[in-house]
Structure 1
Amino acid sequence: MPKYQIKVGIIGGSGLDDSPSQIFIHKDVTKLENAKNDFGYPSGNLYHGCIGGVDVVLLSRHGDGHKLSPSNINYRANIEALRLSGCTHILASTACGSLIESINRGQLVLPDSFLDRTISRKGTFFDNTSSSYSGVCHLPMEPVFDPQTSEIVLQAAKELGIDIRKGGTVVTIEGPRFSSKAESNAFRMWGGHLVNMTICPEVILAKEAGLLYTAVAMATDYDCWRENDENVHAVDVLKVFKENVSKVTDLFVKAIELIGKQDWDQDIDNLHALIKSSNISQGS
């Protein structure tokens, strides 16, 4: 018998945060809770359910009705709430701007790295806020996203016939404003493939919490670098995402079913061991 009971946290971003029924379609939502923890309240209620025999917990990143801007999201409370709910994995959706011609509107991407341009967010659990995260942890961030979970998502996409690009660097900006053209072009020169406002510090915190995290990004626009094209606008971002949202929900459902068929003990133990060995404080 596996040591860990698998439970998948689903973080719905822009366009996937209005209702849990978008994920739990034809599924029963078994519990609803507002889960305050050492880091405060998460963005909203946690919806508990089951997909393909796997326990799942859905959290809207921006809160019900998209009430929270990217900089006002309590990322630490969100991740901690999912950890305390027993999650072993996180699948997250995120709307992004494309920084290269070959990633078109509606294209799904599995990112594998990030450039963090945020400036005002709490980016670690290890700051003596909570006894659950004592000490000083210098956690390696390569690989950023869990490789095995990402491979499962790729397998799910292949089985469903969904086109998804493997690999890409996400530039996370502070927001809530979009980039200037000079910034957008700079991100392209740095090797960025996508730009968004929420991957950081979410992916960092998930790794610190010992959760196997991967994100599915959807390109909704071309930011503002592309000549002779309309500049990014929030209304257009949501329109493109909602036109393609079924691809993300179908992909998540299939990936969760596949996750439930794997033995994850070694992957989880390896991450926990990495966190422990990266904590340099005595007695932590």
Structure 2
Amino acid sequence: MEQYTAEFGVFGGSGFYSFLENVKEIKVETPYGPPSDVIAIGEYKGRSVAFLPRHGKLHQLPPHKIPYRANIWAFKKLGVKRIIAPTAVGSLQSEYKVGDFVVTDQFVDFTRGRECTFYEGPITTHISMAEPYCPELRGIAIEALEKLGVRFHRTGTVVVIQGPRFSTKAESLFFTRMGFHIINMTQYPEVVLARELEMCYVNIAVVTDYDVGIVSEGNVQPVTQEMVIKKFNENIGTLKEVVKYIIEHTPPERHCKCGEALKDARVGE
């Protein structure tokens, strides 16, 4: 049976990997069940890349039902060292405008009940999450966005909510007043699981809407699913260019600290 490997893992739909050559779709088994869908593996500029639609090809998996552990484990099984994770986000601050890109550097978790670790015991294991996103990949993503000449933010804190519903005005105003910048439903536990398996991870977010807290204080439309999909699709071309740039310009030989075992194991806590 043919063995497949990939250096990069990308979360994105079928239209996302149109620039790859020699694409093959494969099924990957994991101890955590099947991933969200089949994985497409191909090449770009001589680099091997695996694509997986986070929500499934038909967008059939809501955020709280995504098999995050299976997805990350499948990438690791294929040999992936770096994960590129584009997402749609809502804006919590007026300076983060619809159509802007954000190279996320921090997250705040407001989800509940998600299977969020590979470390289930019997030894209690702690990993460092002070800087959850890979600094090397973030720097390359920033360089790509600068060259493309689009409006973007070098940093941003994403608050991750459970979904699939959007926030109430009260919740959204709370997040805004806490100083969080953008809001999303999938960054947790995805980025944490990648760190646990010692893979670099970068999130390039596109602002598709203003969250309802901003709506309550200004003259903008409240978020809808249709609005999110429309704005995200409008920016897929730019997202593809950023992904391509990261793949092409990431040095294969450089050792990044995200690839180290950043864990502090303690027994009996």
For the aligned pair, the TM-score class normalised by the smaller chain equals over 0.9
Alignment of 1:211-250 (within 5 A): 211-226=199-214, 227-250=218-241
Greater strand percent: which structure? 2
In the alignment, is the contact (CA less than 8 A) between 2:7 and 2:81 conserved in 1? yes
1:71 is paired with a residue of what secondary structure? Answer: helix
Q: For residue 23 of structure 1, what is the aligned residue in structure 2?
A: 17
User: TM-score normalized by structure 2?
Assistant: 0.92
Given candidates 104, 109, 116, the residue that maps to 2:102 is 109
Q: For residue 199 of structure 1, what is the aligned residue in structure 2?
A: 187
1:279 is paired with a residue of what secondary structure? Answer: strand
Instruction: Tell me the alpha carbon deviations over residues 10-56 of structure 1, each in whole angstroms, 9 at most, x when there is no partner.
Output: 012xxxx2x1x43232x324322121201111000111011122110
User: TM-score normalized by structure 1?
Assistant: 0.87
In the alignment, is the contact (CA less than 8 A) between 2:7 and 2:79 conserved in 1? yes
Amino acid of the structure 2 residue aligned with 1:240 = K
Give the Cα–Cα distance (whole angstroms) in 2 for the partners of residues 138 and 90 of structure 1. Answer: 21
Amino acid of the structure 2 residue aligned with 1:177 = R
**1:80, distance to aligned residue in structure 2 (A):** 0.4
Amino acid of the structure 1 residue aligned with 2:35 = P
- Alignment of 1:125 onto 2:140: no
Give the Cα–Cα distance (whole angstroms) in 2 for the partners of residues 62 and 165 of structure 1. Answer: 26
Flag structure 2 segments of 5+ consecutive residues without an equivalent: none
The two structures, once aligned, show a CA RMSD in angstroms of 1.7
Alignment of 1:1-284 (within 5 A): 7-12=7-12, 17=13, 19=14, 21-25=15-19, 27-128=20-121, 135-226=123-214, 227-259=218-250, 261-265=251-255, 267=256, 271-275=259-263, 278-281=264-267
Amino acid of the structure 2 residue aligned with 1:159 = K
Query: What fraction of aligned residue pairs are identical, expressed as a percent?
Result: 35
Give the Cα–Cα distance (whole angstroms) in 2 for the partners of residues 271 and 28 of structure 1. Answer: 27
Structure 2 CA distance for partners of 1:159 and 1:52, relative to 1, 3 Å: farther
Amino acid of the structure 2 residue aligned with 1:50 = E
Amino acid of the structure 2 residue aligned with 1:10 = V
Amino acid of the structure 2 residue aligned with 1:218 = V
In the alignment, is the contact (CA less than 8 A) between 2:6 and 2:50 conserved in 1? no
2:260 is paired with a residue of what secondary structure? Answer: helix
Give the Cα–Cα distance (whole angstroms) in 1 for the partners of residues 231 and 152 of structure 2. Answer: 16
Amino acid of the structure 2 residue aligned with 1:180 = T
Give the Cα–Cα distance (whole angstroms) in 2 for the partners of residues 100 and 135 of structure 1. Answer: 41
Structure 2 CA distance for partners of 1:209 and 1:192, relative to 1, 3 Å: same
1:207 is paired with a residue of what secondary structure? Answer: helix
Instruction: Tell me the alpha carbon deviations over residues 55-110 of structure 1, each in whole angstroms, 9 at most, x when there is no partner.
Output: 10000000011000000001000000001110000000110100011111111101
Q: For residue 131 of structure 1, what is the aligned residue in structure 2?
A: none
**1:6, distance to aligned residue in structure 2 (A):** 7.4
Flag structure 1 segments of 5+ consecutive residues without an equivalent: 129-133
Amino acid of the structure 2 residue aligned with 1:220 = T
Amino acid of the structure 2 residue aligned with 1:46 = I
Instruction: Tell me the alpha carbon deviations over residues 121-156 of structure 1, each in whole angstroms, 9 at most, x when there is no partner.
Output: 01111015xxxxx73221111111011111011112
Give the Cα–Cα distance (whole angstroms) in 2 for the partners of residues 187 and 93 of structure 1. Answer: 22
